[in-house]
């Protein structure tokens, strides 16, 4: 299984607009972050997780030629800003694109992009096939996932376990069912927007994550969805040995 971090940044990327690097060292290329997204490849299947505003850049930068499905974790801009690119992607690929999202996320998407659901408006708005993602076992892109929901602001974000890999983004707590799903994972890729600083913003910091993972068996943790306040080197130096900071284009193989 190959997991490519297409984007390791938070909602506003690093640097943010107007070249604002906040707390990140502009001299370290690992601090240059597009919005959070992951590309999972296994058994000749390819799953794109989230389609944010940097989608086009990420697909082109990695030379990705196709995918079997898209999973949208939740309906915040940094995770769905690229969804309106998908009708054109479908046209270029010459096949329909399956998109999986929770009922709550789909409702919000309909508010954001009504024309993508009616087939009206854009002449090429078709080509998208929407699927409701439930908690529990789901076959997505031909891969057997175990989906779980985590609280994030006023909404829920969908995480998943696939074989020995678990992914969770935009979370502020770990409910019991989600906890059982990530337990025993070889690799957990997790949002750590706030670095070492706990904040009340719907996101996570390493001290909070460490507390949540207590008593769970997880070999390796990689932290992603990092705010511009977070400097790669500074954060990495404060983490235990089995915890790594993600960067754009990082490839994880398990
Ligand atoms: Zn986010
Ligand atoms: Zn979010």
Distance CA 90, CA 111 (A): 22
Q: Is the pTM of this model over 0.85?
A: yes
Ligand 2 centre distance from Cα of residue 78 (Å) = 7
| CA proximity to 108, closest of 154, 159, 54 | 154
Q: Which pLDDT does position 117 carry in this prediction?
A: 86
Question: Which pLDDT tens digit goes with each residue over 135-185?
Answer: 999 999 999 999 999 999 999 999 999 999 999 999 999 999 999 999 999
**Residue 150 confidence (pLDDT):** 98
- pLDDT of 75 reads 98
Ligand 1 centre distance from Cα of residue 9 (Å): 8
**Local confidence band at 231 (pLDDT 50, 70, 90 cut-offs):** very high
pLDDT number for residue 119: 61
Query: Is domain 2-246 annotated with CATH 3.60.15.10?
Result: yes
How many A from CA of 170 to the centre of ligand 1? 5
Q: How far is the CA of 94 from the centre of ligand 2 (A)?
A: 31
Residues 6+ apart with CB under 8 A from 240: none
pLDDT tens figures, 85-129:
999 999 999 999 999 999 999 999 999 998 888 765 454 457 899
* 1-50 per-position pLDDT tens digit: 999 999 999 999 999 999 999 999 999 999 999 999 999 999 999 999 99
**Among the bound ligands, the one closest to the CA of 35:** 1
Which secondary-structure segment (H or E) carries 55? helix 55-62
CA separation, residue 99 to residues 47, 244, 248 (Å): 10, 30, 23
Q: How far is the CA of 20 from the centre of ligand 1 (A)?
A: 18
Query: pLDDT value at position 253?
Result: 97
State how far the Cα of 11 lies from the Cα of 122, in Å rounded to an integer: 27
pLDDT at residue 120, as a whole number: 53
Q: Quick check: 191 pLDDT over 60?
A: yes
Instruction: State the average pLDDT over residues 217-227.
Output: 98
Phi and psi torsions of 220, nearest 5°: -145, 135
| Ligand in closest contact with the CA of 153 | 2
Rounded to a whole number of angstroms, the distance between the first and last alpha carbons of the chain is 5
pLDDT above 60: residue 241: yes
Diameter of the chain by CA atoms?
53
């Amino acid at each position: 299984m190959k997991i490519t971090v297409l984007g390791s940044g938070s909602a506003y990327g690093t640097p943010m607009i107007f070249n604002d690097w906040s707390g990140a060292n502009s001299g370290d290329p690992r601090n240059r972050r597009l919005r959070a997204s992951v590309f999972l490849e296994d058994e000749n299947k390819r799953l794109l997780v989230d389609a944010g505003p940097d989608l086009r850049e990420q697909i082109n930068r990695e030379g990705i030629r196709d995918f079997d499905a898209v999973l949208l974790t939740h309906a915040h801009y940094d995770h769905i800003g690229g969804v309106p690119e998908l009708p054109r992607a479908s046209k270029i690929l010459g096949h329909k694109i399956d998109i999986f999202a929770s009922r709550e996320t789909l409702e919000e998407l309909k508010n954001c992009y009504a024309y993508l659901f009616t087939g009206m408006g854009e002449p090429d708005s078709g080509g998208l096939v929407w699927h409701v993602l439930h908690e529990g076992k789901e076959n997505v892109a031909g891969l057997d996932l175990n989906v779980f929901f985590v609280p994030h602001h006023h909404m829920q974000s969908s995480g998943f376990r696939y074989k020995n890999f678990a992914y969770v983004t935009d979370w502020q707590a770990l409910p019991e069912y989600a906890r059982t799903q990530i337990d025993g994972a070889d690799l957990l890729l997790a949002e750590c927007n706030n670095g070492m600083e706990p904040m009340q913003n719907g996101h996570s910091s390493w001290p909070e994550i460490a507390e949540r993972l207590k008593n769970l068996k997880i070999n390796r943790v990689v932290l992603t969805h990092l705010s511009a306040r977070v400097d790669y080197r500074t954060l990495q130096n404060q983490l235990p040995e089995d915890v790594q900071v993600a960067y754009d284009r990082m490839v994880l193989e398990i």
